[in-house]
Amino acid sequence: MRLIICGMGVVGQSFVKLLIDSSESLYKKYGIKPRIVACADSNGVAYSQTGLDLEKLLIVKKKYGTVAKYSGEKLHFENYIENIDAEVFLELTPTNLISGEPGLSHIISALRTHKNVITVNKGPLALSFPSLIELSDYNNVMLRFSGTVGGGTPVLEFAKHCLKGDKITSFSGILNGTTNYILTKMTEGFTFDEAFNDAKIKGFAEAESSLDIDGDDAAAKLVIMANWIMGYKVSMKDVDKKGISNVKLDDINDAIKNRKNIKLIAKCDEKNLYVKPSIISTDDPICVNGTLNAVTFKSVHSGDQTIIGRGAGGMETASSVLRDLIEIKENFLNS
């Protein structure tokens, strides 16, 4: 199975490491022999028709900061996504929730040239989910995106596969680990600013974390879930969104007195699609602390089912990419 990787940040490098570590078991269990024929970052492309040396690829990226030095000369492939033959394209570039670019154009190019696509990039899906699914169906290829929601925790797979045959009527939960960490620290007496700074020191928040704090990241994940799980056709503009920057320590303390907590909750049902700070009982299964994510699905026959796990991390998210790759391979065998 020939792969093209676009994006060699933390997730891209973690995925390459995962392939190195699990190559033997992948072949034994699933009959998969992934061969990365091209790898691109913002400075260029590494290419080998017979497959890149993965150890060398990681060394070159670490030493030079780009995979473009892999062959000793800088390669600039015009339209490399269309012109290089591969079965699967991995779109692992950073999320852009304003325009979805460059990930959106990358995914469209890959789907149009009949490549299966795996992405962890929320932007294109949050903005153009219905049209991308339509394009993948039209070209008879798969678009998979497990890592966009829950990182390594199989939130989307749980809803689509474990609750198969049932009807999910609504879901709600914590979809952003950074904001959950901040609100957790506030229950320990930290002010918002103190908790935010602590999250940055611990590496849970970037210096510019407006996407987390303002609720945009959770809203993007909510849109993806609503479209994929509930069959809606919605985008970011359909979400009623409010972040956590106005949550005060007094609000937190008042909630605690009543055996409750304030969490940034994302919810989808027949009437609501919102992200906002909400007061929930400490006995509620989704009332988790730290950087954990949690989602409760309400279904007609199974009742309430909750899945909890870490929502981020390079290797955790890379593991979701591998799950998607295995699903694509299994689809090949069944088609």
- By annotation, the residues acting in catalysis are 221
Contact by Cβ (8 Å): 64, 44: no
Q: Give the H/E segment covering residue 67.
A: none
Residue 272 has a CB neighbour count (10 Å cut-off) of 11
Identity of the residue numbered 101: E
* First-to-final CA distance of the chain: 16
Beta strands in 128-215 (DSSP E): 143-144, 168-174
Hey, which residues does 268 pair with through a beta bridge? Answer: 171, 273
Contact by Cβ (8 Å): 236, 220: yes
Contact by Cβ (8 Å): 319, 309: no
Q: Give the residue carrying structure tokens 């290419």.
A: 47
Give helix then strand counts, H and E, for the chain. 12, 12
The DSSP code for 48 is -
Classify residue 21 by burial, with Cβ atoms within 10 Å: 0-12, 13-18, 19+.
exposed
Pairing outcome for strands 116-119 and 143-144 = parallel
d(CA 28, CA 5): 24
Q: How far is CA 71 from the centre of its chain?
A: 31
Contact by Cβ (8 Å): 162, 297: no
